[in-house]
Structure 1
Amino acid sequence: MTHDLPEQDLPLTDLPTTDLSDLYPDAPVFAPVFQEFGGRPRFTGRAVTLRVHENNPLVREVLGTPGEGRVLVVDGGGSLNCALLGGQLGELAEQGGWAGVIVNGCVRDTTELRGLNVGIRALAVHPRRSGKATTGERDVPVTFAGVTVRPGDLISADEDGILILPPHAHDPA
Protein backbone atom coordinates (compact mmCIF):
# COMPACT_ATOMS: atom_id res chain seq x y z
CA MET A 1 0.00 0.00 0.00
CA THR A 2 1.43 3.35 -0.97
CA HIS A 3 0.83 6.32 1.32
CA ASP A 4 0.21 9.65 -0.40
CA LEU A 5 0.53 11.62 2.83
CA PRO A 6 3.34 14.08 3.43
CA GLU A 7 6.06 12.56 5.59
CA GLN A 8 5.18 14.69 8.63
CA ASP A 9 1.61 13.26 8.71
CA LEU A 10 2.71 9.66 9.19
CA PRO A 11 5.51 8.52 11.51
CA LEU A 12 8.41 6.89 9.68
CA THR A 13 7.93 3.78 11.78
CA ASP A 14 4.55 3.32 10.04
CA LEU A 15 5.92 3.61 6.52
CA PRO A 16 7.21 0.55 4.65
CA THR A 17 10.67 0.77 3.12
CA THR A 18 9.10 0.83 -0.33
CA ASP A 19 7.35 4.11 0.50
CA LEU A 20 10.43 5.47 2.25
CA SER A 21 12.47 4.67 -0.84
CA ASP A 22 9.93 6.60 -2.92
CA LEU A 23 10.02 9.57 -0.50
CA TYR A 24 13.83 9.53 -0.36
CA PRO A 25 15.00 8.16 -3.75
CA ASP A 26 18.66 8.85 -2.92
CA ALA A 27 18.54 6.96 0.39
CA PRO A 28 21.22 4.24 0.47
CA VAL A 29 19.68 0.75 0.31
CA PHE A 30 21.48 -2.34 1.61
CA ALA A 31 22.06 -5.03 -1.02
CA PRO A 32 19.40 -7.74 -0.65
CA VAL A 33 21.70 -10.29 1.00
CA PHE A 34 20.20 -10.45 4.50
CA GLN A 35 17.82 -13.01 5.95
CA GLU A 36 15.27 -12.23 8.64
CA PHE A 37 15.72 -14.07 11.96
CA GLY A 38 14.03 -12.04 14.70
CA GLY A 39 10.40 -11.87 15.73
CA ARG A 40 9.99 -8.23 14.66
CA PRO A 41 10.02 -7.95 10.85
CA ARG A 42 9.85 -4.12 10.85
CA PHE A 43 12.14 -1.87 12.85
CA THR A 44 13.49 1.67 12.71
CA GLY A 45 16.13 3.29 14.88
CA ARG A 46 19.41 5.16 15.13
CA ALA A 47 22.52 3.11 14.37
CA VAL A 48 25.17 2.05 16.85
CA THR A 49 28.06 0.51 14.91
CA LEU A 50 30.61 -2.19 15.64
CA ARG A 51 33.41 -3.75 13.63
CA VAL A 52 34.42 -7.20 14.90
CA HIS A 53 35.94 -10.33 13.40
CA GLU A 54 34.77 -13.74 14.59
CA ASN A 55 34.65 -12.56 18.23
CA ASN A 56 31.54 -11.24 19.97
CA PRO A 57 32.38 -9.89 23.47
CA LEU A 58 31.96 -6.34 22.17
CA VAL A 59 28.53 -7.31 20.78
CA ARG A 60 27.56 -8.61 24.23
CA GLU A 61 28.92 -5.48 25.91
CA VAL A 62 26.92 -3.11 23.69
CA LEU A 63 23.70 -5.16 23.85
CA GLY A 64 24.04 -5.05 27.65
CA THR A 65 23.50 -1.29 27.56
CA PRO A 66 20.09 0.37 27.14
CA GLY A 67 19.08 0.16 23.48
CA GLU A 68 16.55 2.97 23.63
CA GLY A 69 15.05 1.83 20.32
CA ARG A 70 18.36 1.90 18.46
CA VAL A 71 19.70 -0.57 15.89
CA LEU A 72 23.03 -2.31 16.44
CA VAL A 73 24.87 -2.64 13.12
CA VAL A 74 27.64 -5.25 13.37
CA ASP A 75 30.20 -5.50 10.60
CA GLY A 76 31.57 -8.99 11.04
CA GLY A 77 33.44 -8.77 7.74
CA GLY A 78 30.92 -11.11 6.13
CA SER A 79 32.54 -14.08 7.89
CA LEU A 80 30.65 -17.34 7.49
CA ASN A 81 32.90 -19.20 9.97
CA CYS A 82 30.93 -18.65 13.20
CA ALA A 83 27.90 -16.89 14.70
CA LEU A 84 28.25 -13.43 16.22
CA LEU A 85 24.73 -13.45 17.72
CA GLY A 86 22.67 -16.24 19.27
CA GLY A 87 19.74 -16.75 21.59
CA GLN A 88 21.38 -15.31 24.72
CA LEU A 89 22.49 -12.11 23.01
CA GLY A 90 19.14 -11.86 21.25
CA GLU A 91 17.40 -11.99 24.65
CA LEU A 92 19.80 -9.32 25.90
CA ALA A 93 18.82 -7.13 22.93
CA GLU A 94 15.12 -7.62 23.61
CA GLN A 95 15.45 -6.95 27.35
CA GLY A 96 17.56 -3.86 26.68
CA GLY A 97 15.04 -2.28 24.34
CA TRP A 98 17.01 -2.56 21.10
CA ALA A 99 14.81 -2.23 18.00
CA GLY A 100 17.05 -4.40 15.88
CA VAL A 101 20.42 -5.93 15.10
CA ILE A 102 21.95 -6.18 11.62
CA VAL A 103 24.88 -8.61 11.36
CA ASN A 104 27.24 -8.74 8.40
CA GLY A 105 27.96 -12.32 9.39
CA CYS A 106 26.11 -15.24 10.95
CA VAL A 107 23.68 -15.95 13.78
CA ARG A 108 22.63 -19.15 15.55
CA ASP A 109 19.81 -20.37 17.81
CA THR A 110 17.34 -19.30 15.14
CA THR A 111 14.30 -20.84 16.86
CA GLU A 112 15.01 -18.70 19.93
CA LEU A 113 15.67 -15.59 17.83
CA ARG A 114 12.33 -15.90 16.01
CA GLY A 115 10.54 -15.78 19.37
CA LEU A 116 12.04 -12.42 20.36
CA ASN A 117 10.50 -8.99 19.88
CA VAL A 118 13.57 -7.62 18.17
CA GLY A 119 14.41 -7.29 14.49
CA ILE A 120 17.41 -9.40 13.47
CA ARG A 121 19.02 -9.57 10.03
CA ALA A 122 22.12 -11.56 9.13
CA LEU A 123 23.73 -13.21 6.13
CA ALA A 124 23.31 -16.81 7.27
CA VAL A 125 23.22 -19.26 10.17
CA HIS A 126 26.16 -21.14 11.65
CA PRO A 127 26.14 -23.51 14.64
CA ARG A 128 29.62 -22.55 15.88
CA ARG A 129 29.91 -19.81 18.48
CA SER A 130 32.36 -16.99 18.00
CA GLY A 131 35.66 -16.49 19.75
CA LYS A 132 35.86 -14.53 22.98
CA ALA A 133 38.73 -12.12 22.28
CA THR A 134 37.80 -8.58 23.26
CA THR A 135 38.76 -7.04 19.95
CA GLY A 136 36.91 -4.70 17.66
CA GLU A 137 35.86 -1.10 17.21
CA ARG A 138 32.74 0.76 18.30
CA ASP A 139 31.09 3.87 16.86
CA VAL A 140 33.03 3.83 13.59
CA PRO A 141 31.67 4.00 10.03
CA VAL A 142 31.17 0.49 8.65
CA THR A 143 30.80 -0.40 4.98
CA PHE A 144 29.15 -3.57 3.69
CA ALA A 145 26.27 -4.65 1.44
CA GLY A 146 26.88 -1.60 -0.74
CA VAL A 147 26.30 1.05 1.97
CA THR A 148 28.26 2.91 4.63
CA VAL A 149 26.56 3.17 8.02
CA ARG A 150 27.70 5.88 10.40
CA PRO A 151 26.88 6.04 14.10
CA GLY A 152 23.56 7.84 14.50
CA ASP A 153 22.25 7.09 11.00
CA LEU A 154 18.52 6.38 10.92
CA ILE A 155 17.98 2.79 9.74
CA SER A 156 14.65 1.39 8.58
CA ALA A 157 14.09 -2.30 7.86
CA ASP A 158 11.13 -4.44 6.88
CA GLU A 159 10.24 -7.43 4.73
CA ASP A 160 11.20 -5.53 1.57
CA GLY A 161 14.66 -4.35 2.57
CA ILE A 162 16.85 -2.11 4.68
CA LEU A 163 17.71 1.51 4.01
CA ILE A 164 19.42 4.50 5.59
CA LEU A 165 17.25 7.59 5.81
CA PRO A 166 18.72 11.04 5.16
CA PRO A 167 19.80 13.20 8.11
CA HIS A 168 16.77 15.49 7.70
CA ALA A 169 14.32 12.58 8.15
CA HIS A 170 12.33 12.62 11.37
CA ASP A 171 13.18 10.36 14.30
CA PRO A 172 10.80 7.49 15.05
CA ALA A 173 8.02 8.40 17.47
Structure 2
Amino acid sequence: MRNIVVTGPPRADQDLVRRLGELGTATVHEAQGRSGFLGPAFRPAWAGARRAGTAVTALCWPGDNTMIHVAVEQCQAGDLLVVATTSPSTDGLFGELFATALQTRGVRGVVLGCGVRDVAELRELGFPAWSTTVSAQGTVKATLGAVNVPIVLGGQRIRPGDAVVADDDGVVVVPRTEVPAVHRAAEARIAKEEATRAAFRAGELGLDRYGMRERLAAQGLEYVAWSDLDDPDNP
Protein backbone atom coordinates (compact mmCIF):
# COMPACT_ATOMS: atom_id res chain seq x y z
CA MET A 1 0.00 0.00 0.00
CA ARG A 2 1.27 3.46 -0.90
CA ASN A 3 1.19 5.86 2.08
CA ILE A 4 -0.25 8.95 0.42
CA VAL A 5 -2.69 11.80 1.00
CA VAL A 6 -4.49 12.82 -2.18
CA THR A 7 -5.48 16.47 -1.98
CA GLY A 8 -8.27 18.29 -3.80
CA PRO A 9 -10.20 15.38 -5.38
CA PRO A 10 -13.29 16.35 -7.40
CA ARG A 11 -16.53 16.14 -5.44
CA ALA A 12 -20.10 15.44 -6.44
CA ASP A 13 -22.42 18.46 -6.64
CA GLN A 14 -23.29 19.40 -3.06
CA ASP A 15 -26.86 20.49 -3.82
CA LEU A 16 -27.68 17.18 -5.48
CA VAL A 17 -25.98 15.25 -2.68
CA ARG A 18 -28.01 17.14 -0.08
CA ARG A 19 -31.20 16.32 -1.98
CA LEU A 20 -30.27 12.62 -2.12
CA GLY A 21 -29.93 12.74 1.66
CA GLU A 22 -33.44 14.17 1.98
CA LEU A 23 -34.82 11.37 -0.21
CA GLY A 24 -33.20 8.68 1.96
CA THR A 25 -31.15 5.54 1.48
CA ALA A 26 -33.99 3.21 0.47
CA THR A 27 -35.10 5.51 -2.35
CA VAL A 28 -31.55 6.15 -3.53
CA HIS A 29 -30.74 2.43 -3.44
CA GLU A 30 -33.77 1.60 -5.57
CA ALA A 31 -33.16 4.53 -7.91
CA GLN A 32 -29.71 3.29 -8.86
CA GLY A 33 -30.88 -0.23 -9.60
CA ARG A 34 -30.64 -1.62 -6.08
CA SER A 35 -26.90 -1.07 -5.94
CA GLY A 36 -24.50 0.73 -3.64
CA PHE A 37 -25.88 -0.53 -0.31
CA LEU A 38 -23.15 -1.29 2.24
CA GLY A 39 -25.30 -3.96 3.88
CA PRO A 40 -27.09 -4.39 7.21
CA ALA A 41 -23.89 -4.48 9.27
CA PHE A 42 -23.58 -0.68 9.11
CA ARG A 43 -25.83 0.79 11.80
CA PRO A 44 -26.22 4.31 13.23
CA ALA A 45 -24.70 4.98 16.63
CA TRP A 46 -27.90 6.84 17.49
CA ALA A 47 -31.28 6.75 15.82
CA GLY A 48 -32.91 9.47 13.77
CA ALA A 49 -29.97 10.94 11.87
CA ARG A 50 -30.23 11.42 8.13
CA ARG A 51 -27.15 12.70 6.31
CA ALA A 52 -25.54 12.81 2.91
CA GLY A 53 -22.11 14.11 2.00
CA THR A 54 -19.20 13.79 -0.37
CA ALA A 55 -16.73 11.12 0.66
CA VAL A 56 -13.33 11.80 2.14
CA THR A 57 -11.80 8.35 2.53
CA ALA A 58 -9.28 7.13 5.10
CA LEU A 59 -7.57 3.76 5.08
CA CYS A 60 -6.24 2.82 8.53
CA TRP A 61 -4.51 -0.14 10.10
CA PRO A 62 -6.67 -2.04 12.60
CA GLY A 63 -6.49 -0.53 16.06
CA ASP A 64 -4.73 2.57 14.73
CA ASN A 65 -6.44 5.88 14.00
CA THR A 66 -3.42 7.82 12.69
CA MET A 67 -4.94 8.39 9.28
CA ILE A 68 -8.19 9.74 10.69
CA HIS A 69 -6.14 12.55 12.21
CA VAL A 70 -4.55 13.09 8.79
CA ALA A 71 -7.93 12.96 7.03
CA VAL A 72 -9.49 15.67 9.21
CA GLU A 73 -7.32 18.27 7.48
CA GLN A 74 -8.65 17.19 4.07
CA CYS A 75 -12.31 17.48 5.12
CA GLN A 76 -14.45 20.45 4.25
CA ALA A 77 -18.06 21.55 4.67
CA GLY A 78 -20.48 19.07 3.13
CA ASP A 79 -18.11 16.10 3.34
CA LEU A 80 -18.72 12.80 5.06
CA LEU A 81 -15.68 10.91 6.36
CA VAL A 82 -15.53 7.23 5.37
CA VAL A 83 -13.04 4.98 7.16
CA ALA A 84 -11.86 1.49 6.24
CA THR A 85 -9.16 -0.68 7.83
CA THR A 86 -6.63 -2.86 6.06
CA SER A 87 -7.98 -5.93 7.85
CA PRO A 88 -11.04 -6.54 10.03
CA SER A 89 -11.18 -4.42 13.19
CA THR A 90 -13.76 -3.89 15.93
CA ASP A 91 -11.75 -1.30 17.87
CA GLY A 92 -13.28 2.09 18.56
CA LEU A 93 -11.26 4.19 16.12
CA PHE A 94 -13.59 7.18 16.31
CA GLY A 95 -15.10 9.13 19.20
CA GLU A 96 -16.27 12.48 20.50
CA LEU A 97 -13.00 14.38 20.05
CA PHE A 98 -12.83 13.51 16.36
CA ALA A 99 -16.50 14.45 16.02
CA THR A 100 -15.81 17.84 17.57
CA ALA A 101 -12.99 18.53 15.13
CA LEU A 102 -15.03 17.42 12.12
CA GLN A 103 -18.19 19.24 13.15
CA THR A 104 -16.18 22.45 13.38
CA ARG A 105 -15.21 21.96 9.72
CA GLY A 106 -18.80 21.42 8.59
CA VAL A 107 -18.46 17.65 8.10
CA ARG A 108 -21.83 15.94 8.13
CA GLY A 109 -20.97 12.56 9.66
CA VAL A 110 -18.75 9.50 9.55
CA VAL A 111 -19.06 5.94 8.23
CA LEU A 112 -16.74 3.39 9.81
CA GLY A 113 -15.90 -0.14 8.77
CA CYS A 114 -14.82 -0.68 12.38
CA GLY A 115 -15.92 0.47 15.85
CA VAL A 116 -17.16 3.76 17.26
CA ARG A 117 -17.27 4.90 20.87
CA ASP A 118 -18.51 7.86 22.96
CA VAL A 119 -22.01 7.21 21.66
CA ALA A 120 -23.75 9.35 24.29
CA GLU A 121 -21.47 12.27 23.54
CA LEU A 122 -21.98 11.90 19.79
CA ARG A 123 -25.73 12.03 20.38
CA GLU A 124 -25.36 15.17 22.47
CA LEU A 125 -23.25 16.80 19.77
CA GLY A 126 -25.75 15.77 17.11
CA PHE A 127 -22.90 14.25 15.13
CA PRO A 128 -23.99 11.03 13.39
CA ALA A 129 -21.84 7.94 12.96
CA TRP A 130 -22.54 4.68 11.18
CA SER A 131 -20.32 1.73 12.06
CA THR A 132 -20.17 -2.05 12.15
CA THR A 133 -19.86 -2.12 15.96
CA VAL A 134 -19.68 -0.05 19.13
CA SER A 135 -16.57 -0.57 21.24
CA ALA A 136 -14.82 1.19 24.11
CA GLN A 137 -11.53 -0.37 22.97
CA GLY A 138 -9.05 2.42 22.26
CA THR A 139 -6.41 2.74 19.57
CA VAL A 140 -2.80 3.74 18.94
CA LYS A 141 -1.25 6.28 16.57
CA ALA A 142 1.64 4.40 15.04
CA THR A 143 1.14 3.26 11.45
CA LEU A 144 0.68 5.07 8.16
CA GLY A 145 -2.18 4.39 5.79
CA ALA A 146 -3.72 6.57 3.09
CA VAL A 147 -6.28 9.34 2.62
CA ASN A 148 -8.53 9.97 -0.40
CA VAL A 149 -7.82 6.67 -2.11
CA PRO A 150 -10.51 4.18 -3.22
CA ILE A 151 -11.62 1.89 -0.39
CA VAL A 152 -14.08 -0.97 -0.06
CA LEU A 153 -16.76 -1.23 2.63
CA GLY A 154 -19.53 -3.80 2.62
CA GLY A 155 -18.45 -4.97 -0.82
CA GLN A 156 -18.92 -1.47 -2.27
CA ARG A 157 -16.10 0.55 -3.79
CA ILE A 158 -16.06 4.11 -2.45
CA ARG A 159 -13.95 6.78 -4.13
CA PRO A 160 -13.17 10.24 -2.79
CA GLY A 161 -15.87 12.67 -3.88
CA ASP A 162 -18.59 10.02 -4.22
CA ALA A 163 -21.96 10.74 -2.63
CA VAL A 164 -22.64 8.84 0.59
CA VAL A 165 -26.21 8.72 1.91
CA ALA A 166 -26.93 7.41 5.40
CA ASP A 167 -29.94 7.13 7.70
CA ASP A 168 -31.68 4.61 9.96
CA ASP A 169 -31.95 2.18 7.02
CA GLY A 170 -28.19 2.03 6.47
CA VAL A 171 -25.62 3.51 4.09
CA VAL A 172 -25.60 3.80 0.29
CA VAL A 173 -22.82 5.08 -1.96
CA VAL A 174 -23.45 6.76 -5.32
CA PRO A 175 -20.47 7.17 -7.68
CA ARG A 176 -19.68 10.84 -8.23
CA THR A 177 -20.30 10.77 -11.98
CA GLU A 178 -23.67 9.05 -11.53
CA VAL A 179 -25.12 11.48 -8.97
CA PRO A 180 -27.15 13.58 -11.47
CA ALA A 181 -28.77 10.52 -13.08
CA VAL A 182 -29.49 8.86 -9.74
CA HIS A 183 -30.97 12.11 -8.45
CA ARG A 184 -33.36 12.29 -11.43
CA ALA A 185 -34.36 8.65 -10.98
CA ALA A 186 -34.87 9.14 -7.24
CA GLU A 187 -37.08 12.19 -7.79
CA ALA A 188 -39.16 10.24 -10.29
CA ARG A 189 -39.48 7.40 -7.81
CA ILE A 190 -40.68 9.78 -5.09
CA ALA A 191 -43.36 11.16 -7.43
CA LYS A 192 -44.48 7.63 -8.30
CA GLU A 193 -44.60 6.63 -4.62
CA GLU A 194 -46.67 9.69 -3.76
CA ALA A 195 -49.23 8.70 -6.41
CA THR A 196 -49.30 5.17 -4.99
CA ARG A 197 -49.65 6.50 -1.46
CA ALA A 198 -52.66 8.57 -2.53
CA ALA A 199 -54.19 5.51 -4.21
CA PHE A 200 -53.74 3.39 -1.07
CA ARG A 201 -55.33 6.12 1.04
CA ALA A 202 -58.27 6.03 -1.35
CA GLY A 203 -58.64 2.29 -0.75
CA GLU A 204 -56.93 0.81 -3.80
CA LEU A 205 -55.13 -2.48 -3.17
CA GLY A 206 -51.54 -3.25 -4.10
CA LEU A 207 -52.85 -6.31 -5.92
CA ASP A 208 -54.58 -4.02 -8.40
CA ARG A 209 -52.16 -1.08 -8.31
CA TYR A 210 -49.26 -3.31 -9.29
CA GLY A 211 -51.23 -5.55 -11.66
CA MET A 212 -50.50 -8.63 -9.59
CA ARG A 213 -53.74 -10.61 -9.93
CA GLU A 214 -53.14 -12.18 -13.35
CA ARG A 215 -49.53 -12.98 -12.53
CA LEU A 216 -50.44 -14.67 -9.26
CA ALA A 217 -53.18 -16.65 -10.98
CA ALA A 218 -50.72 -17.77 -13.66
CA GLN A 219 -48.43 -18.98 -10.88
CA GLY A 220 -51.24 -21.12 -9.48
CA LEU A 221 -52.67 -19.04 -6.63
CA GLU A 222 -56.25 -20.11 -5.86
CA TYR A 223 -59.04 -18.48 -3.82
CA VAL A 224 -61.24 -21.04 -2.05
CA ALA A 225 -64.25 -20.26 0.13
CA TRP A 226 -64.08 -21.61 3.68
CA SER A 227 -67.40 -23.39 3.14
CA ASP A 228 -65.94 -25.30 0.20
CA LEU A 229 -63.04 -26.76 2.13
CA ASP A 230 -63.33 -30.45 2.97
CA ASP A 231 -61.12 -30.03 6.01
CA PRO A 232 -60.70 -26.36 7.11
CA ASP A 233 -57.92 -27.37 9.56
CA ASN A 234 -55.92 -28.92 6.72
CA PRO A 235 -56.57 -26.97 3.53
- Displacement of 1:117 in angstroms is 2.7
Task: Verify the 8 A CA contact 2:26 2:169 in the aligned structure 1.
Answer: yes
Match of 1:5 in 2: none
Match of 1:3 in 2: none
- Displacement of 1:66 in angstroms is 4.5
CA distance in 1, matches of 2:42, 2:22: 22
Runs of 4+ aligned structure 1 residues displaced above 3 Å come to none
Matching residue within 6, 21, 25 for 1:17: 25
Instruction: Tell me the percent identity.
Output: 28
SS at match of 1:148: strand
Q: Structure 1: any 5+ residue segments left out of the alignment? A: 1-7
Cα gap change, 1:105 to 1:68, in 2 (>3 Å): same
138-147 vs 20-29, which deviates more?
Answer: 20-29
CA distance in 1, matches of 2:107, 2:95: 15
Matching residue within 43, 67, 81 for 1:35: 43
Matching residue within 153, 164, 172 for 1:163: 172
- Displacement of 1:128 in angstroms is 2.2
SS at match of 2:178: coil
Structure showing the higher helix proportion among its residues: 2
CA distance in 2, matches of 1:49, 1:118: 18
- Displacement of 1:114 in angstroms is 1.5
Matching residue within 61, 66, 75 for 2:70: 61
TM-score by length of 2: 0.63
Match of 1:48 in 2: 56
CA distance in 1, matches of 2:75, 2:34: 31
13-22 vs 141-150, which deviates more?
Answer: 13-22
Task: Verify the 8 A CA contact 2:52 2:165 in the aligned structure 1.
Answer: yes
Task: Verify the 8 A CA contact 2:122 2:128 in the aligned structure 1.
Answer: no
Q: Structure 2: any 5+ residue segments left out of the alignment? A: 1-15, 184-235
145-154 vs 114-123, which deviates more?
Answer: 114-123
Task: Verify the 8 A CA contact 2:70 2:147 in the aligned structure 1.
Answer: no
2:144 equivalent to 1:147: no
Matching residue within 72, 79, 87 for 2:89: 79
2:136 equivalent to 1:127: yes
Cα gap change, 1:144 to 1:83, in 2 (>3 Å): same
**Per-residue CA distance 1:134-170 (angstroms, 9 max, x = gap):** 4111111111212111111111111112111242324
SS at match of 1:22: helix
Task: Verify the 8 A CA contact 1:47 1:71 in the aligned structure 2.
Answer: yes
For these two proteins, the number of residue pairs brought into alignment is 163
Cα gap change, 1:85 to 1:124, in 2 (>3 Å): same
CA distance in 2, matches of 1:26, 1:37: 24
- Displacement of 1:94 in angstroms is 1.4
Cα gap change, 1:40 to 1:47, in 2 (>3 Å): farther
Match of 1:105 in 2: 114
Cα gap change, 1:134 to 1:83, in 2 (>3 Å): same
CA distance in 1, matches of 2:26, 2:47: 21
Task: Verify the 8 A CA contact 2:57 2:71 in the aligned structure 1.
Answer: no
